[in-house]
Amino acid sequence: MVPHSLYTVELVCVGNELLIGKISNTNAQWLADRIVRLGGKVSRETTVRDDLDEISSSIREALRRRPNLIITSGGLGPTHDDMTLQGVAKAVGRQVQLNQMAIQFMKAHYRRFAPSVIRFNKPRLKMARLPNGSEPIENPVGSAPAVSTSCGQVTIISMPGVPRELKAIFNRSIAPLIRKKTGNTSFLERRVMVRGIAESELSSTIDKVMNHYPSIFVKSHPRGSRGLRSPKLELHLTSTSSDESRTRRELSNAVAMLIRSVLSRKVSKVAGNRVIFRMMK
């Protein structure tokens, strides 16, 4: 079992469409949320074009940082611009070759969802060309299998960019892998909505709370205002720990300390309005 502070994950998202603003990178957001809630720590997210050199260099850079896991999304399809697996192979210094298990996974998919497909043409076979030594991971809802590649102590898992397929593969195969490594580590959070105090006036209070509870991170998010005299903030308190009951107590105490500190300083006078706290679900 790896302590949560050490089990790190990097995300490498591949696709021109992400970098020209055609679509939002919802895969990275979804993956980060799931990984953190499983007790992992997302240390970096990189987005690159559908370019062999860009993909391979981004993976090599991630490997040099030695995270426990690198997850790539996108670029596993049959077209010319799907080159993530070639990029992984180049990054780890291997060739790609047809993988018979990947072919079997694909045949099972076509028998179930597209029985009219009677032969594998070159574009379809491209999805079964994996880096030497890699293992395919069955895609329960799509044709392109995910791929696991080991490089020293780092595991690289490449998944399709289609959100439905990515989520199905992650929930079925990747989440159990992460949970096995993080054990009983839990991610906990509290959210508090604050009205009547400017973000700049709350900064020192947040620092005070975080210094007193070093395992808790407090982030302030402006949520609009009713004019300059009535600002609105969301305070998001988060912590990851293997001792859930203690962390819950610390989060509750941190919220109480934050509220007491604000009220004791009477900073509401600075904002020109009374301070209102509201716990959020």
DSSP string, 107-123: HHHHHHH-TT--S--HH
Are 259 and 131 members of one domain? no
Q: What pLDDT, on the 0 to 100 scale, is given for residue 101?
A: 97
pLDDT at 105 over 70: yes
Amino acid at residue number 79: T
The last residue of a domain, from among 182, 206, 231 = 182
Are 163 and 250 members of one domain? no
Q: Within a domain: residue 3?
A: no
The last residue of a domain, from among 182, 209, 233 = 182
Q: Within a domain: residue 32?
A: yes
Q: In what order do the strands lie in the sheet with 217-225?
A: 217-225, 231-241, 186-195, 276-280
Task: Provide the CATH number for the domain around residue 217.
Answer: 3.30.70.360
Instruction: Report the mean per-residue pLDDT for the chain.
Output: 90
pLDDT at 270 over 50: no
pLDDT, tens only, 205-214: 999 999 999 9
pLDDT at 3 over 70: no
The last residue of a domain, from among 182, 217, 250 = 182
Q: What pLDDT, on the 0 to 100 scale, is given for residue 115?
A: 83
Are 40 and 134 members of one domain? yes
Count of structural domains, the chain? 2
- Strand 217-225 versus strand 186-195 pairing type: unpaired
Are 165 and 226 members of one domain? no
Q: Which domain, by its residues, includes 86? A: 8-182
Are 257 and 219 members of one domain? yes
- pTM equals 0.87
Q: What pLDDT, on the 0 to 100 scale, is given for residue 230?
A: 72
CA dihedral for 141, 16, 45, 220, sign (positive or negative): negative
